[in-house]
Amino acid sequence: MNGTMAAGRQFRPARRRRVAAWLRPIPYILPSIAAIVLIFAYPLVRLVRESTQQSYAGVTKDVGLTNYQFVLTDSDFITAVTHNLLLLLCVPILILLSVLFAVILNEAARGRRIYSTVLFLPYVLSVPVISVLFNYLLQLNGGVNSILRALGLGAIAQDWLGSESWALPSLMAVIVWKELGFGIMLFFARIISLPNELWEAGRVDGAGWWRLHWHITLPQLRGIIEFYAVVESITMLSWVFAYVYVISSGTGGPGTSTLVTELYIYKSAFGYGTNNLNIASAASAILFVGTVVLMFINFRVRRVDLHA
Amino acid sequence: MESVQSPATVTSRRGRLRRAGVAARQVVLVVASASALLPLYAMLTAAFKGQNDYLAHPLGLPLSPSGAAFSTALSSGFPHWLLNSILVAGASVLISLMLATLAAYAFSRMPFPGRSVSFTLMISLMVVPPIVMLIPLFELMSDLNLVNTYQSVIIIYAGLMLPFSIYLLTSFFNTIPRELLEAGSIDGAGHFRSLISIILPLAMPALVTLGIVNLLWAWNELLIALVLLQDDSMKTLMVGITIFQSHNNLNVPVTMAGLLIATIPIVVIYLAGQRFFVQGLAAGAVKE
């Protein structure tokens, strides 16, 4: 016994050093871990639990998957998800326009600085602010229609956000207007970092503008295009609340023409009359699963080296 | 291809095409810039108009510029909402910068079991939409009696900013040469000392970038502020704007003046820190 104690004592300094090394990061990461548990982990656990319960008049009981069943067969929810999927149409438009503008910006003979400052600007502005602005601009007597009339296109002028058939396309236009700056910024930053020699050979061979960019510029942008596509897809599926809330004054209207998943959740939880946190939790959980699936696709597509 | 033509005509044709191309690009850029600026122009001009002037010419220059809309806007809840926004955004950004700096240092410089797994999990959280956590967070804050307090929103904002902040700072700290720190540890500097006196000064540009990006995010956030700060006196500017719009539907210039006041700080931050800002947003993508 004495012998083992002695041996133990001999090893102790080494072991203590090892334990100390293991403990050393704790004060550094603990505050962040605590915050993340509080803001992400705990809410997610609570969300899943409450999505399988129903509270009524102060009594809570387990109802299994009933809430999910309700949400998945609710025509409003299906409409909302369909609208999010339709918003995905913005993604190819955004990629096309922002690559095009970034290339043209790079080739501008003069004023690159000022053009880039102006073209990035919409991305910095607050979504609520620009949504209010477009609310006014897209009215029947708003700025957009007055431009159309001045151009002799008065025939197509209308109440863009007030018509059931045009509200969603108009919303998409507003989102594209705002998100485009981000794409231009990403692609422009990449293009100006490329060496000029890259295009020299193509120019010497007499390749035209389209061929030059199709075969030389585009392959260089591939990784960033993928990144932008994933970020914007996630935006279209689950980060458009502020646009829709402000543009439709919290209704998703006219009718349900601009209803999206986030607003469905918000209205189920906090809307007048509905106010059912359990139903809203089930819808949130479905949205979360959708986001996780997309995230996996993202990692598979990008094959990011997470060790950075 | 053009073997029949003499070299001279080829060059002059190329030259003309070239000049046409230059002009075409300028036209595209001018049109694009004009549409990027149109809403701002409409806001700026409308804020100095009267309601009738606005209705008659939504995009014209103000016939008789007046600051009346501004004094109406400023005599409402606006100044108070502005202060709320500054407080909430400023405090949450400072807290998350401090927490993220510490965590990023550990992720970058201290090996510990589960490091890469926890880092991966952490950065995956970047894409979780806040609405998913909103309901449980609202319930949590009501349990804690924190609804309608600055603390609730500051904690939530700081937490939501953490994954991106830790990711960005860790990648930045990883680029700092190991030799610099080894020199430090030979001199007997502990981890905290080397973080403060070696890493932080080098990381200033990254911290500024991150601060600007997070500040804009917090300033522009609507959903959480909408749900957690419901008292009129607690509202942030973004929430204020949405109710301001419905209250002043009969006086558009007042709303426009309010929007202008809410936008000026952002545009100033953007113009002053454009370089940092572009770097920060590109950082997630342009990884060499």
What are the pLDDT digits (tens) for A205-222? 887 888 889 988 999 998
Q: What is the pLDDT of residue A293?
A: 86
With a cut of 60, say whether residue A14 has pLDDT above it: no
Question: Between B279 and A27, where is the model more confident?
Answer: A27
Q: Do A265 and B116 touch (CB under 8 A)?
A: no
Q: What is the pLDDT of residue A58?
A: 78
pLDDT (mean) for A9-37: 74
Q: What is the pLDDT of residue B22?
A: 84
> What's the structural domain count of chain B?
1
**Of A57-71, A171-185, A200-214, minimum mean pLDDT range:** A200-214
Residues of B within 8 A of A43 (CB-CB) are 132-133, 135-137, 140
pLDDT (mean) for A41-67: 91
The CA distance from A51 to B173, in Å, is: 41
Q: What is the pLDDT of residue B225?
A: 97
The CA distance from A183 to B282, in Å, is: 10
CB-CB neighbours of A186 under 10 Å: 25
A280 half-sphere exposure, CB direction, 13 A CA radius: 23
The model's pLDDT over A274-285, given as tens digits with 9 standing for 90+, comes to: 678 999 999 999
Instruction: Find the CATH number of the domain harbouring B123.
Output: 1.10.3720.10
Determine which helix (DSSP H) or strand (DSSP E) holds A53, and give its type and residue range: strand A53-56
Q: What is the pLDDT of residue A24?
A: 83
Q: Where are the domains of chain A?
A: 2-51, 71-302
- The model's confidence at residue A10, banded by pLDDT at 50, 70 and 90, is very low
**What CATH superfamily is the domain A71-302?**
MetI-like (1.10.3720.10)
Both structure tokens of B236: 């942030």
Tell me which chain A residue has its CA closest to the CA of residue B153. A39
Q: What is the pLDDT of residue A59?
A: 85
The CA distance from B159 to A35, in Å, is: 6
Answer yes or no: is B10 within a domain: no
The CA distance from A165 to B202, in Å, is: 54
The model's pLDDT over A120-164, given as tens digits with 9 standing for 90+, comes to: 999 989 999 999 999 999 998 889 999 999 999 988 999 999 999
Closest CA to A267 of A77, A63, A62: A77
Q: What is the pLDDT of residue B194?
A: 82
- The model's confidence at residue A196, banded by pLDDT at 50, 70 and 90, is confident
With a cut of 70, say whether residue A303 has pLDDT above it: no
Q: What is the mean pLDDT of each run of 10 residues along chain B (288 residues)?
A: 50 72 89 94 93 88 88 87 96 97 92 88 87 95 95 97 93 84 68 84 87 90 95 93 81 91 89 76 51
Round the average pLDDT of chain A to a whole number and report it.
Answer: 87
The model's pLDDT over A107-118, given as tens digits with 9 standing for 90+, comes to: 887 888 899 999
Q: What is the pLDDT of residue A23?
A: 81
Backbone angles phi, psi at B233, to 5 degrees: -75, -15
Both structure tokens of A105: 């910006």
Closest CA to B134 of A66, A281, A3: A281
Which DSSP category does B61 fall into?
A: P
Q: Does A198 touch chain B (CB under 8 A)?
A: no
Q: Do B255 and A132 touch (CB under 8 A)?
A: yes
pTM (2 d.p.):
0.88
Both structure tokens of A77: 């929810």
Answer yes or no: is B28 within a domain: no
Question: Between A298 and A146, where is the model more confident?
Answer: A146
Which DSSP category does A180 fall into?
A: H
The CA distance from A231 to A236, in Å, is: 9
The percentage of chain A sitting over the pLDDT mark of 90, rounded to a whole number, equals 60
Can you give the residue range of the structural domain that contains B123?
77-283
A residues 89-148 closer than 8 Å to B (CB): 101, 104-105, 107-109, 111, 115, 117-122, 124-130, 132-137, 141-143, 146-147
Q: What is the pLDDT of residue B175?
A: 86
The percentage of chain A sitting over the pLDDT mark of 70, rounded to a whole number, equals 90
Answer yes or no: is B126 within a domain: yes
DSSP assignment of A3-46: HHHHHHHHHHHHHHHHHHHHHTTHHHHHHHHHHHIIIIIHHHHH
